[in-house]
Structure 1
């Protein structure tokens, strides 16, 4: 699914609450994921932020190490990730195993914020991950649980 305007605006608000200036966007290569990345980047730049890089990854592949290394090496204030589910899960596992990437420095789209998608990686590995829904509300992984709507005012 393609991110909505409300979702992109919610992600921008979440980034701003963290007092971030720079983001890196990662997404799958499906048309919906690529459009989501473009929408988020445009909303962020309209708000005066800087996008350091946009990295894409495949839905299937032998390894996500090269993509994960490129994504993590950018070292933005905040990483922003979009789906789809399978590629996101593979990429996130590789990020956790092989890089300095941390979920608590990451925001995600509604395509990622489905409990079934998060379960592909395991909630225990995603504490601190925050995201936006298509309606512009937020969700959070905290204490190994998926919380919706999130209590992001005190966490983000």
Structure 2
């Protein structure tokens, strides 16, 4: 059965472009309340394989094409990563593996753990209208980046996929209601995880992962 990972707690939200979006800036006391996050570990081969499989099995739109009875899987992705060595390596490995399948990486975008607003990397991350996004990042930096994305862009968490370091319910709580809803990813042992209603559930590689249909692209 899927296993909940780390219970979230509510966080406040503020008025913005999205009615339920929190302020794009994370107050220090909120981050401190959840304790320190570990640095991202090096990715595993099983994790990378599971992430590729998850993406290629996922429709990037809920609308079938004229010649297909099922929607197509993503063909173009933008890869985002924080600047630590493990995340940089994971992003590079994914990029190489994705291109090996004959698909396209539109851009690689990085961001710092601390910034004034994260607005510039957020706009670079959403440029080009990719079918999906892939993230390899330190947890708190991704929380800050995702809050800015939710607040200021048309980024869609349901079309976003992450490495194992982001499969933690504390991130969903810190990011705010709906900010990471529908995001999925891979675990280090080749399983998968998914965020739904503020919780992360993990599924082993021998179980059927939770299904979250991506909404139509705007």
Structure 1 residues 55-74: aligned runs within 5 Å:
55-74=109-128
Contact kept in structure 1, 2:82 and 2:110, CA below 8 Å: yes
Distance 1:74 1:33 in 2: 23
Unaligned runs of 5+ in 2: 1-40, 59-72, 214-218
Aligned partners of 2:140, 2:200: CA distance in 1, in Å?
18
1:6-54 alpha-carbon deviations (Å, 9 max, x no partner): 1111111111112111111001011111001001111111222211100
Q: Paired residue for 2:85?
A: 31
- 4+ residue segments displaced more than 4 Å: none
Q: Does 1:126 align with 2:180?
A: yes
1:104 corresponds to which of 146, 158, 183: 158
Contact 2:158 2:184 in 1 (8 A): yes
Q: Secondary structure at the match of 1:62?
A: coil
1:16 is the counterpart of 2:56: yes
Aligned to 2:190: 136
Unaligned runs of 5+ in 1: none
**Aligned-CA RMSD value:** 1.7
Partner of 2:200: 146
Instruction: Name the counterpart of 2:47.
Output: 7
Cα distance, 1:122–1:2 mapped onto 2, change above 3 Å: farther
Take 1:86 and 1:142, find their aligned partners in 2: how far apart are those partners? 19
Q: Distance in 1 between the 2:173 and 2:116 partners?
A: 21
Match of 1:155, SS state, is: coil
Per the normalisation by structure 2, the TM-score is: 0.67
Structure 2 CA distance for aligned equivalents of residues 94 and 154 of structure 1: 26
The 3-state SS of whatever aligns with 1:55 is strand
Aligned partners of 1:27 and 1:57 also within 8 Å = yes
Q: What is the count of residue pairs matched by the alignment?
A: 156
Deviation at 1:124, TM superposition (A): 3.6
- Say if 2:74 is the partner of 1:46: no
Helix, strand or coil: the match of 1:2?
coil
* Distance in 1, Cα, partners of 2:119 & 2:180: 19
